[in-house]
Structure 1
Amino acid sequence: MQIQDVELVISAVAPMQYPTDGLPEIALTGRSNVGKSSMINKLIQRKKMARTSSTPGKTQTLNFYKLNEAFYFVDVPGYGYAKVSKTDREKFSQMIETYLQERTTLRGVISLIDVRHEPTKDDLAMYDYLKFFGVPVLVVATKGDKVPRGKWNQRESKLKKALQLNQTDDLVIFSSTSGLGGDQIWEWVTAHLPE
């Protein structure tokens, strides 16, 4: 997909701040430091639209990026970062839950995990949570360039097994360095947007 137009519309913490234009939304979730901002920047072909940071846990709001005036990517705060206080963690958790449960324009979630590691308890909990609420999910295993190509199939089947990935959900290995997997992600996004 060619992204001509990108705008960060709002960084929201509560439903009253969400955009009201009714455009469909695809949310992106994942552990802090899993490469969410890098993936967004690669997919939309912008170097610094989504802020990347070497300090995990920097995204603390729901960031609504309007693409081509047609739909939103919603960058959700990363989870599982220990240096965030317990109170802040609970606040993020509540903010994310409210969004995922109540947002009627949400069409699907791209759930990011690190291809090199077993999914964390938080990764498993997020996937189970999305399945419980019947949200369409694409699991994206980031940092594909850090694993030799010969081991991809092995990593993919391990991750699918660990997540107990159901038959309606796909897993894509992605690299924000090479862009590998980007086309498959866009195919999934397009399939989940209204005509």
Structure 2
Amino acid sequence: MEVHNVEMVMSAVRASQYPTDGLPEVAFVGRSNVGKSSLTNVLINRKSFARTSSQPGKTQTLNFYKVEDQIFFVDVPGYGYAKVSKKAREEFAVMIGEYLRTREPLKGIVQLVDARHMPSKEDIEMYNWLTSDDIGLPVLVVATKADKISRGKWNKAEADIKRGLQFNPDVSDFEIFSSETKYGKDNVWDWLEARMLDGTDFDPEDYED
């Protein structure tokens, strides 16, 4: 999809603050500094619309980005950063849990992992939760920072990540991604557009590929 219109609509910490226009939503989750902002900026054809923080754990709200007036990208606070206080982590868990379990317009979840490393304990726990009956939504695992490893090692990286997560292809998909080369962008958009079809009033003919 060619994106021309993007708007940062709101930041929310509770259901009463969520958008009310009923557009389909996709949540982006991952460890702090895994590249959520970089992925978002590539998808929406912007260099720095989604802010990339030099301070991991800084995002403390659910940030809603309206894309082409057809879908919300929802940036979820990063997990796994030790300097975030225990109280803050507990508050994040409640906020994120409420959103992912109960939000009706939520049509899918993108979980980001680092292509250079085996999944962390937090990555595995998050994946297990996202693919459980407790959530019950399609999941796309995106392995970021692929440009940091040689192309010849991508297959091994994918196999290692899938083995570490105990990847279930029945409920999730996988994509290698590089924000530097934009490799994987079109495939991620294909997955997102499939989620948009679960929403209302989406006409693929309105967009250019």
How do 1:139-178 residues align onto structure 2 when only pairs under 5 Å count?
Answer: 139-168=141-170, 169-178=172-181
Matched residues in 2 for 1:120 and 1:167: separation?
A: 20
Deviating beyond 2 angstroms after TM superposition, the runs of 4 or more aligned structure 1 residues are none
Q: Residue type matched to 1:138 in 2?
A: L
Query: Structure 1 length as normaliser, TM-score?
Result: 0.98
Q: Residue type matched to 1:178 in 2?
A: T
SS in 2 for 1:79: coil
How do 1:64-103 residues align onto structure 2 when only pairs under 5 Å count?
Answer: 64-103=64-103
Matched residues in 2 for 1:114 and 1:65: separation?
A: 23
Deviations 1:16-75 (A, max 9, x none): 000000000010000001010111011101111111012111211100000001110000
Matched residues in 1 for 2:169 and 2:116: separation?
A: 23
How do 1:1-195 residues align onto structure 2 when only pairs under 5 Å count?
Answer: 1-132=1-132, 133-168=135-170, 169-194=172-197, 195=202
Percent identity at matched positions? 57
Query: Structure 2 length as normaliser, TM-score?
Result: 0.91
Listed as ranges, the gaps of 5+ residues in structure 1 are none
How far is 1:83 from its partner? Answer: 0.5
Matched residues in 2 for 1:100 and 1:72: separation?
A: 14
Listed as ranges, the gaps of 5+ residues in structure 2 are 203-209
Matched residues in 1 for 2:57 and 2:44: separation?
A: 22
Deviations 1:134-167 (A, max 9, x none): 1100000000000100000011011111111112
Count of matched residue positions in the alignment of Structure 1 and Structure 2: 195
